[in-house]
Structure 1
C-alpha cells in the first residue's frame, strides 16, 4: 500500500469494504458493542441513513478503502442538536500510518462547517493490560 491517501465521501460501492473493515472489530474486539457482524446490505443501509444528516467518509489508497469515519446524532434531545458522536475504523492491516488522524481531521472539518460544536466518542477501556479484546488504542488516539 502506498501512503497516498485520499479522503472522500463514502458511496454505495464502498459497502463491501465497510463491512470487511468492521467485521474484524466485531469478531476480534469488544469495542463495537455488537456481537453479530453486519453484512454488506446492512452496512449500506447504515451509511445511507447516516449520510442523510452527517458526513460519512472513507480513506482510500490505490483504489482500496482502508478506513472510514462518520458522525451521528449524539443524543435525541434538542439541547444536543450541535453535538455528535464519532466513529472511526481503520483496516487492521493499515493501522499506525496516520489514516485515523486524517479521517478524524476531515470529519472534524466537515462537522465544523455544519455548525457542530461538540464531537463525542464512546471509548472502551480495558480493565487491565491483559484484556485480549480491548486495548488503550482508542483512548490514546482520542
Structure 2
C-alpha cells in the first residue's frame, strides 16, 4: 500500500468510497451524494491549502483522508478538522492508521498544533451508525472534547455528534506561523 497525494482525477474513485457512507449511514450527515464536479471542486479547494491524501493498494484507492479549516478566523490557523473514509470492504486492515499517521506528519510539518474530528455518535448502535469512528480516533490518540445531543437528523432519527481532539504540537505564547503549502512531501 502507498500513500499519495489526491488529485482531481481521483474524484470518481473517491466518490465510490464516499457514496455508500452518504446513502447508507449517518457517519456523514450529508443527505445526497455530491456530483463528480462538486467533489472535484472540494478536492481543489481543500488541497490548495491542506494535505488531501489517498491510500492505494494494487492500483485502486482504498481510502482517503484530509484536513480542512477548523473555523474561518485567523486565530484558528493552528487547528484543523480532519476527515477519513476507508472503502467498506477494506476496514480493519490498517489503512486508516496509515493515512492518519501520514496526515498528522504533514500537518506537523506545516506547524498545525490541533487536529479535531467531528464524529457522528450513536445514542444506541444500530443499522446506520456504530462507534467504530470514535474507537478509531481514540486509538489514534484523540480524546473527546465535546458532546452535542440530537445534532443531526437522518433516516428518520436523531444522532448525537462529538468533537475529538489531538494536540500534535507545543502551544506557546509565540507560535510559529503556519506554512500554507500546495506542494506537500508526498
TM-score, normalized by length of structure 1? 0.94
Aligned twin of 1:21: 17
Aligned twin of 1:12: 8
Q: Does 1:108 align with 2:104?
A: yes
Q: Does 1:32 align with 2:17?
A: no
Which 4+ stretches in 1 moved above 3 angstroms?
none
Aligned length: 137
Matches for 1:1-142 after TM superposition, within 5 Å: 5-129=1-125, 131-142=126-137
Which structure is higher in strand share?
Answer: 2
Which structure is higher in helix share?
Answer: 1
Unaligned runs of 5+ in 2: 138-186
TM-score, normalized by length of structure 2? 0.72
Q: Deviations over 1:56-109 (max 9, x none)?
A: 000001110010000000012222110000000000011110100000000000
Unaligned runs of 5+ in 1: none
Q: Deviations over 1:93-140 (max 9, x none)?
A: 1111010000000000000000000000001111013x2111101100
> SS of the counterpart of 1:96?
coil
* Alpha-carbon separation, structure 2, partners of 1:94 and 1:43: 22
